Amino acid sequence: MAEEFRYQQLENWLLQGLQGERWRLGERLPSIRSLCQDQGLSKATVQHALQRLEAQGWLEARPKAGYFVAARPANANPPTSRARIDSPRPVTVSELLLDIMGRSAAFDLLPDLAAGELPPGIEALNRAIGRALRRQRGEGHQYYDKPEGNLALREQLAIHQGRRGWQVAPDQLCVTSGCQHALFLALMATCERGDVVAVESPGFYGVLQLLQQLGLQAVEVPSSPDSGMDMDALEAVLERWQVRAVIASPAFSTPSGALMPLDNKQRLLALADRHDLVVIEDDIYADTALGPAPDPLKALDTDDRVILCGSLSKSLSRDLRVGWISGARWHARILHLKLVTQLASSRYLQQGLAEFMADGYYAAHVRRQRQQLRANRDQLLAALNGWPADVRASVPQGGLSVWVELPEHVDTLAAYPRGLEEGVVITPGPLFSVSGQFGHCLRISYAHPWTADRVRALGKLPALLL
Q: Which residues bind a copy of itself (CB under 8 A)?
A: 98, 102, 105-108, 111-118, 122, 126, 129-130, 133-134, 136-147, 177-178, 180-181, 184, 188, 193, 206, 209-210, 212-213, 313, 316-321, 336-337, 339-349, 447-448
Please report, for residues 68, 249, 402, 406, 432, the alpha-carbon distance to residue 465 in angstroms, rounded to integers and kept in the order given: 34, 29, 16, 8, 18
Provide the residue type at 17 as one letter. Answer: G
Least separation, in Å, of the C-beta of 247 and a copy of itself?
14
Q: Distance (Å, rounded) from C-alpha 366 to C-alpha 201?
A: 28
Which of 130/162 has CB closer to a copy of itself?
130
The verdict on whether omega for the bond into residue 78 sits within 30 degrees of 0, i.e. cis, is no
Give the torsion sign (CA, 348, 353, 354, 358).
positive
CA atoms within 13 A on the CB side of 286: 26
Strand positions, DSSP E, 189-305: 196-201, 217-224, 228-229, 245-248, 251-253, 258-259, 278-282
Element (H, E) at 175: strand 174-176
Q: What is the CA radius of gyration of the chain?
A: 22
* Closest CB to a copy of itself among residues 31, 136: 136
Tell me, what amino acid is at 295? Answer: D
Q: State in angstroms the smallest separation of the CB of 348 from a copy of itself.
A: 6
Q: From the CB of 447, what's the least distance to a copy of itself, in Å?
A: 7
Least Cα distance to 450 among 375, 384, 386 occurs for 375
Query: Between residues 71 and 208, which has the closer beta carbon with respect to a copy of itself?
Result: 208
Closer CB to a copy of itself, 260 or 325, in the complex: 325
What is the nearest approach in angstroms of a copy of itself to the Cβ of residue 338?
A: 10
CB of 146 or CB of 460, closer to a copy of itself? 146
Decide: 379 and 452 in contact? Cβ < 8 Å.
Answer: no
Our CB check for a copy of itself shows the closer of 164 and 314 to be: 314
Cβ nearer to a copy of itself, comparing 13 with 143: 143
Phi-psi sector, 321: left (phi>0), alpha (psi -120 to 50), beta: left
- Residue among 111 and 292 whose Cβ is closer to a copy of itself: 111
Q: Which is nearer to a copy of itself, 128 or 168 (CB)?
A: 128
Q: How far is the CB of 427 from a copy of itself (least distance, A)?
A: 14
Residue 130, helix vs strand vs coil: helix
Q: Residue 160 CB, nearest distance to a copy of itself (Å)? A: 19
Which of 426, 373, 327 has its CA nearest to residue 108? 426
> At closest approach, how far in Å is the CB of 147 from a copy of itself?
8
* Residues 453, 459, 461, 466, Cα dihedral to 10°: -170
Shortest distance, position 445 Cβ to a copy of itself, whole Å: 10
Q: Could you give the angle at the alpha carbon of 142 between the alpha carbons of 140 and 147, nearest 5°?
A: 80
- Contact predicate 379/446, CB 8 Å: yes
Q: How far is the CB of 93 from a copy of itself (least distance, A)?
A: 9
Of 298, 286, 88, 92, the closest CA to residue 195 belongs to 88
Q: Which of 178, 194, 188 is nearest to 210 (CA)?
A: 188
List all residues 6 or more positions away from 51 whose beta carbon is below 8 Å from its beta carbon: 61, 291, 292
Residue whose CB is less far from a copy of itself, 183 or 272: 183
Q: Report, in Å, the least distance between residue 150 CB and a copy of itself.
A: 11
**Which residue, 344 or 464, is less far from a copy of itself as judged by CB?**
344
- Phi and psi angles of residue 252, each rounded to the nearest 5 degrees, phi first: 70, 75
CB of 311 to a copy of itself, least distance (A): 10
